[in-house]
Chain A
C-alpha cells in the first residue's frame, strides 16, 4: 500500500467494517446515536414558557387528574438536537431517488408548504362562521373544479382523508345507490393484483370479496369478469379495479369491463392511486368509471410526511353524485354553497352521511391546488408523460438483466420486475432491496403486487433527471451482475452502511414492546460487585 510522506495511507484501508475504529460514544462522526427522549428528558424542565395562572376556583368537580402524566420534557435546544439527529436517520425524496412503486414519491414543492401556512388557510377554524371564510370555500371549489375537469366526472366528494378513506367513501356511495334502488347485492369483484385496501374496504361494508386472477399479460381479462358476474348473477354490487393497474399496465379492456359491470347493475370503483400516469392523456369519466379516489399525496405532490397525512377526494359519476357525503359543494349559477347538514338539502340530494368531522384535509387541498396552478394543464400532461417516459427508460435499461413477468411491453409510470433473474443466486428480493440501501437508494416496492413472484415495482416519477436515472440503472445493473456472479456477501447481511442493520421483526411481533417504560428502581440500581 502506498503511503504519503506523513505515513498515513493515501487510499482507504479496508478494515472490513468499522469495528477496528470503535468510538467511545458509539457515534461515527456525523452518524450519531440518539436515545429516546424519555431517557434524556427530565420532569423538572420545560421547553415552553408558561405563566402559572392566578388563583381561581376550578370547575372540574371531582374529575381532577390525580398525577401529572409521567412524561419527561426537553428544553428547546435539546428538542432541536433530538429531532434533528433523528431526522438524519431517515431516507427522503429530497435526499435521493425513492422508487417506491404505487407510492408516487415525487418532488414536494416548497411553495405548497408556504401557501398552506398562510394564516388565511392554516389558521382558520372549521366551525367559524362561513361568512368569515369565503376564500376557503372558494379554494375548495376551485380544487374540485380541477379534479372534476381532469377526470371528466360529474362531482367530487372532497372530505376523505386518504386513499383508503376515499375507497370507503366511494363504496359507501355505491351501497347507498343500491339501497336507494331497493337492491342489496352482496358481492364485490376485486382483482388479485389489487392493493390490500381494496378488499379491506369492501369487507368493512359487509361485502363478500370475489377475487379475479390476472391473465398472462398482467391485466384483467373481461371474460373473467363476465364469468364471475354470471356466477353471481343479480348479486354484484360492483368491481374495484385499479387503473393503471398495480403491474404498471393500463387496463386496455377497461371499457368492456365497465359495460359488463353496468349491465349487471353494478358500479365501477376505480382505484386512482396511479392517476399520475394519465393526467391529460385519458379521463376516467370516459372509461365508464363511477367513483375514483385521487391520492393528493401521490399525484398532486402533497408530502408523505413519513406515513401521512394524505387526502383522498373521490370523483363521482352522475349516477353516484347525489349520494356524495356531507359536507358538499352545491353550484348554483355563479354561486357556490357549502352544504353541511341534512336540513339544507334540495331535491335529488341524498348524501349517505358523513366521512369525518368538519370539511376534510384543507391543508392538503391548498398544497395540491398550488401544484396544479404551477403546472397548469400543459405542465400536468407533461408531468404524466415524463413519469411514463422515465419508467420506460428504466425498463429498457434493465430488461436484459432483470426479468419482466409480462414480457417486453410498454409500462405506464412504474415498471414491475419479478425475481426470476435471481433464481439460483441465493439472493432474494429482500436481500436485493437491502443492498440497494447500501448504494444510497431507497428500495422499490417489494412483494407487491401479489400476482408475481418476488415482485419489485419501480416508480421513478417525473422528478428524476436523466443523469439520476442513468446512475440508478447502472447501479441496478451492477447489483444484478454481482448477484449472478455469486457475490452473495454483498446482499445477505445488507445493509452494512445504514444507521441500523436488518431489524429483527419476528422478535418485535413475538413479544411486542410498544412504548417506553420507566426503568424500575431495581433496574437502575448499581450491581453489587461479585
Chain B
C-alpha cells in the first residue's frame, strides 16, 4: 500500500522485536466476541489512478458554479480567489502542521493567526477577534452563549432577518442547554420592530445585516435599546465582503460581531469547510470562546507569538470552559488572511463596490421582467425578488436552462405560503453582463 512504509520484512522483524509473531496478540484486550478480521463488506485497495477516475465520475455529475451564470448566495458566495492563495495554503509547512501548541516551531501559524485576528478586528470595527470558529452559524450560537455568560441572563431575541439555518443552530443548542429564545417571524420586507422585543430579561439581540433577505439594518438604535436594558447586541453577517462598503457593526455599537468569512479566500465546497469570524470588545475577552493568539517575547527578547488566555478553554478548564471548541478552521483562516492581504482595505472596498454595482445592475434588469418585483430598498450584493409563482419550481426550471438563479426562500423556510414566491438572488464580481442577460432571458421564458 503506497502510504504504508513498513515492508513485510519490517513487520516480521518488528513483531519479533516486540516479542510476538502475530499482530493479533497485541489486540488481546478487545473482547473475543467483538473481534473482527477486517472489513469484509468493503472494497479492496485501489491505485491512485483508479480512485481519481472513480471520484472524477462523481464530481462530473455536479454543475460547478464557474461553469454557468451563477446567482446563488444565502450565506455562501461565489467569489474569485487568487491562485496564489490556494498555492500558499498547500505548502506542507502550513497544511500538515498541528495546532501551534509548541510555539518555538510554529511561529508561522501563530503569526498568521495574529494577522488574521488583526484583519477581522479591523473589518468588524471591534477591539479583539479570536482565531476562528467553525463557521458563521456555529459562531452565532457561541456568541449567544457568551452573551448569557456576560449578562447572567438567558433569553436571546433573534431577528427575523437572521439566516434560518443560523436561527435553527441557535435554537437547537439553546433548547438543550435550557436557555430561552424568542425568534421573530421571517422578515422579508426588512421592517420588523425588534426594539419592542427587548426587555429586562433579554440577554442579547441577534441581528443580521445585510439580513438574509438582503436588507441593510440600522444597528445603532438596536444597540442603544439593548444597552439601556442591560443586553448585548450580537451583529451577524454572512457576506464578509459587505464590510468593505457597509458601516462596520463595531461603529454602530455591537458588542459581539460574528459572521461567515468564506467569501474571502475560501471556495464554496458545498458548505464547508468555512471560517467563522468572531470579534468583541476588549472587556469581554475572558468570556470569549475559541483560541486567541497573542504577542510576547522569547528568551532572547525577540518578538514572538503564542496561544494565550487558554484558561478559558476546554483543555485547561474542562467543564468550566467557555466553549468545547478545539480544532477550528485553521487553514481557512490562512486562506482568508492571504486573500485579505492581497486586497488590503482599499482593495476590499473596491471589490465590495464591484459586487454592489453588479447587484444594482442585476436588480435593474430583473425588475423589468413582467410579474417580477424586487422587495429591497437597500441591499449589498443580494436581494429578495418576488415572483409570480413559487420560486422553487422557477429555480429548477432555470437550472434546466443552465442558469443557477438563486435560492428559493422556501428551501430555508419551508411550508410558509407567504414566502413561497420569494427568491434570494446574489451577485458578485464573477458575473458578467452576459451572465445577467442569460439569467433575464431564461427567467422570462420560465415565467412566460
Per CB-CB distance, the 6 closest pairs between chain A and chain B, nearest first, are A73-B344, A353-B172, A120-B59, A358-B271, A305-B331, A47-B342
Contact with B along A271-310 (1 / 0, CB 8 A): 0000000111111001100000001010000011111111
Restricting to B70-127, which residues have a CB under 8 Å from any CB of A?
70, 72-76, 78, 82, 84, 86, 88-109, 111-115, 117-119, 121-123
Q: Is B195 an interface residue (CB 8 A)?
A: no
17 contacts between A and B (CB under 8 A): A48-B343, A69-B243, A74-B342, A82-B341, A121-B59, A126-B270, A127-B74, A196-B326, A204-B145, A282-B27, A306-B106, A355-B169, A356-B135, A357-B137, A361-B272, A514-B295, A515-B118
Given A357-B163, A358-B271, A508-B306, are A388 and B30 neighbors across the interface (CB < 8 Å)? no
A63 touches B63 (CB 8 A): no
> Told that A63-B378, A377-B43 touch, could you supply 9 new A-B pairs with CB distance under 8 A?
A46-B347, A87-B88, A100-B101, A126-B75, A175-B176, A200-B317, A356-B137, A370-B51, A448-B315
Closest CB in chain B relative to A492 CB, distance in Å: 10
A202, A360, A364, A500: the one contacting B107 at CB < 8 Å is A500
Restricting to A334-392, which residues have a CB under 8 Å from any CB of B?
340-344, 352-364, 366, 369-370, 372-383, 385-386, 388-390, 392
B327 touches A297 (CB 8 A): yes
A-contacting 9-mer, from B196-204, B224-232, B332-340: B332-340
Q: Is A254 an interface residue (CB 8 A)?
A: yes
A41 touches B344 (CB 8 A): yes
A73, A90, A249, A507: the one contacting B343 at CB < 8 Å is A73
B29, B102, B168, B411: the one contacting A443 at CB < 8 Å is B102
B29, B52, B168, B358: the one contacting A249 at CB < 8 Å is B29
Given A127-B76, A200-B318, A463-B5, are A100 and B98 neighbors across the interface (CB < 8 Å)? yes
Q: How large is the interface on A (under 10, 10 to 19, 20 to 34, 35 or more residues)?
A: 35 or more
B172 touches A464 (CB 8 A): no
Contact with B along A28-72 (1 / 0, CB 8 A): 000000101110011111111011111011111111111011111
Contact with B along A298-335 (1 / 0, CB 8 A): 00000111111111000000000000011000000000
**Please, which residues of chain A bring their CB within 8 A of the CB of B275?**
309
**Please, which residues of chain A bring their CB within 8 A of the CB of B305?**
503
B35, B106, B132, B348: the one contacting A90 at CB < 8 Å is B106
B297 touches A504 (CB 8 A): yes
Please name the residue on chain B nearest to A63 by beta carbon: B216
Q: Is A232 an interface residue (CB 8 A)?
A: no
**Please, which residues of chain A bring their CB within 8 A of the CB of B278?**
none
B302, B319, B325: the one contacting A164 at CB < 8 Å is B325
Closest CB in chain A relative to B298 CB, distance in Å: 4
A379 touches B4 (CB 8 A): yes
Please report the C-alpha to C-alpha distance between residue A213 and residue B51 in the assembled complex, in whole angstroms. 46
A46, A133, A203, A392: the one contacting B346 at CB < 8 Å is A46
A377 touches B138 (CB 8 A): no
A132 touches B35 (CB 8 A): no
A62, A124, A340, A437: the one contacting B411 at CB < 8 Å is A340
Given A356-B135, A376-B46, A514-B294, are A465 and B6 neighbors across the interface (CB < 8 Å)? yes
A56 touches B360 (CB 8 A): yes
Closest CB in chain A relative to B25 CB, distance in Å: 8
Given A71-B122, A164-B327, A509-B308, are A308 and B64 neighbors across the interface (CB < 8 Å)? no
A59, A149, A254: the one contacting B41 at CB < 8 Å is A149
Please report the C-alpha to C-alpha distance between residue A84 and residue B87 in the assembled complex, in whole angstroms. 10
B26 touches A374 (CB 8 A): no
Please name the residue on chain A nearest to B322 by beta carbon: A200
Q: Is A526 an interface residue (CB 8 A)?
A: no
A43 touches B346 (CB 8 A): yes
Q: Is A10 an interface residue (CB 8 A)?
A: no
Contact with B along A438-476 (1 / 0, CB 8 A): 000011000010000000000000111110100000000
A61, A72, A131: the one contacting B377 at CB < 8 Å is A61
Please report the C-alpha to C-alpha distance between residue A113 and residue B51 in the assembled complex, in whole angstroms. 13
Q: Is B267 an interface residue (CB 8 A)?
A: yes
B46 touches A135 (CB 8 A): no
Please report the C-alpha to C-alpha distance between residue A261 and residue B93 in the assembled complex, in whole angstroms. 44
**Please, which residues of chain B bring their CB within 8 A of the CB of A297?**
327
A164 touches B314 (CB 8 A): yes
Please report the C-alpha to C-alpha distance between residue A374 and residue B4 in the assembled complex, in whole angstroms. 11
Contact with A along B167-185 (1 / 0, CB 8 A): 0110111011110000000
Please name the residue on chain B nearest to A53 by beta carbon: B357
**Please, which residues of chain B bring their CB within 8 A of the CB of A366?**
55
Given A362-B272, A388-B26, A513-B294, are A396 and B18 neighbors across the interface (CB < 8 Å)? yes
Please name the residue on chain A nearest to B80 by beta carbon: A48
Please name the residue on chain A nearest to B406 by beta carbon: A127
Restricting to A112-138, which residues have a CB under 8 Å from any CB of B?
113-129, 131-136, 138
**Please, which residues of chain A bring their CB within 8 A of the CB of B74?**
127
Closest CB in chain A relative to B330 CB, distance in Å: 3
Please report the C-alpha to C-alpha distance between residue A84 and residue B325 in the assembled complex, in whole angstroms. 29
**Please, which residues of chain B bring their CB within 8 A of the CB of A306?**
94-95, 97-100, 106, 108-109, 330-331, 334
Contact with B along A501-524 (1 / 0, CB 8 A): 111110111001111100000000
Closest CB in chain B relative to A407 CB, distance in Å: 14
Please report the C-alpha to C-alpha distance between residue A388 and residue B118 in the assembled complex, in whole angstroms. 43
Closest CB in chain B relative to A295 CB, distance in Å: 8
B97 touches A91 (CB 8 A): yes
B346 touches A68 (CB 8 A): yes
B414 touches A76 (CB 8 A): no
A121 touches B269 (CB 8 A): yes
Q: Is A209 an interface residue (CB 8 A)?
A: yes
A358 touches B347 (CB 8 A): no
Please report the C-alpha to C-alpha distance between residue A382 and residue B7 in the assembled complex, in whole angstroms. 11
Q: Is A150 an interface residue (CB 8 A)?
A: yes
Q: Is A490 an interface residue (CB 8 A)?
A: no
**Please, which residues of chain B bring their CB within 8 A of the CB of A344?**
414
Q: Is A215 an interface residue (CB 8 A)?
A: no
Most chain B CB neighbours (cut-off 10 Å) among A82, A90, A295, A352: A90
Given A90-B94, A108-B95, A374-B3, are A206 and B177 neighbors across the interface (CB < 8 Å)? yes
Please name the residue on chain A nearest to B251 by beta carbon: A66
A95 touches B93 (CB 8 A): yes
Q: Is B448 an interface residue (CB 8 A)?
A: no
A76, A105, A364, A495: the one contacting B273 at CB < 8 Å is A364
Please report the C-alpha to C-alpha distance between residue A42 and residue B332 in the assembled complex, in whole angstroms. 24
Please name the residue on chain A nearest to B355 by beta carbon: A53
Given A303-B95, A308-B332, A466-B10, are A48 and B76 neighbors across the interface (CB < 8 Å)? no
Closest CB in chain B relative to A61 CB, distance in Å: 4
